[in-house]
Amino acid sequence: GAVVSQHPSRVICKSGTSVKIECRSLDFQATTMFWYRQFPKQSLMLMATSNEGSKATYEQGVEKDKFLINHASLTLSTLTVTSAHPEDSSFYICSASRLPSTDTQYFGPGTRLTVL
Amino acid sequence: AQKITQTQPGMFVQEKEAVTLDCTYDTSDQSYGLFWYKQPSSGEMIFLIYQGSYDEQNATEGRYSLNFQKARKSANLVISASQLGDSAMYFCAMREYSGNTPLVFGKGTRLSVIA
């Protein structure tokens, strides 16, 4: 099956610092990647849709200046949490599709962010 | 707008028994896909089964089957012969095919398998 990796798997940072999370499709090209956030005991909530070579589309309520998304190649998308605060502590998961529309999405293993 | 509803926050099942996890959905699109994912405590999302809106037969994958009732807009997951390793969160999700749209998830059901 398709493999998606995320790095780092776990990060702890101080309030006010920025954290970059990488999402890579290892054995396929992904024109679109999705970023989700999951708070404890809650479901996955879509943050943004990342398209290779163009600006990301953010969901309502997600600050695009705080959560910077870059999809520079067909295998890599990055999410940067700028000036992180404790309320940004969450589980961040990316996903990617091999084909548009009809294929399932393959999820990365997730990144657990803790902001002190 | 699409919406996924999972009404069972938690379920218990005896080992080796079958269990049904409920999922209903709402969409105005004619073309869509329904998915079930398993999320163990590690957090990874494990794809279990897929049903397309035009598929006439219910999907099956090993011990997993999807009871698809299009008129009722339900897509229940049936796990047969439950195992202790099945204990996890289970999410129902839907994707509309009107564009390269993301998965939208239900709130999930926590399944606990009892020995």
Chain A interface includes B100 (CB < 8 A): yes
Q: Which residues on B lie below 8 Å from A89 (Cβ)?
A: none
For A38-45, what is the mean pLDDT? 93
Chain A interface includes B64 (CB < 8 A): no
Kindly report, residue by residue over A52-95, the tens digit of the pLDDT. 888 899 999 999 999 999 988 889 999 999 999 999 999 999 99
Q: Which long-range contacts (CB under 8 A, 24 or more apart) does A72-75 make?
A: A74/A25, A74/A29, A74/A30, A74/A31, A75/A24, A75/A25, A75/A26, A75/A29, A75/A30
Cα(A51)–Cα(A55) distance, integer angstroms: 7
Contact A107 B45 (CB under 8 A): yes
Kindly report, residue by residue over B69-87, the tens digit of the pLDDT. 999 999 999 999 999 999 9
Kindly report, residue by residue over B31-54, the tens digit of the pLDDT. 999 999 999 999 999 999 999 999
Does residue A2 carry a pLDDT above 80? no
How confident is the prediction for chain A on average, in pLDDT? 91
A-B contacts (CB, under 8 Å): 57
Contact A91 B43 (CB under 8 A): yes
Instruction: Say what the pLDDT of residue A74 is.
Output: 87
Q: Which residues on A lie below 8 Å from B2 (Cβ)?
A: none
Instruction: Say what the pLDDT of residue A1 is.
Output: 64
Which of A31, A33, A42, A43 best tests the B interface by mutation, with the highest count of B CBs <10 A?
A43
Instruction: Say what the pLDDT of residue A32 is.
Output: 86
Chain A interface includes B44 (CB < 8 A): yes
| Confidence tier at A102 by pLDDT (50, 70, 90) | low
Instruction: Say what the pLDDT of residue B59 is.
Output: 95
Cα(A50)–Cα(A78) distance, integer angstroms: 9
Kindly report, residue by residue over B86-109, the tens digit of the pLDDT. 999 999 999 987 766 789 999 999
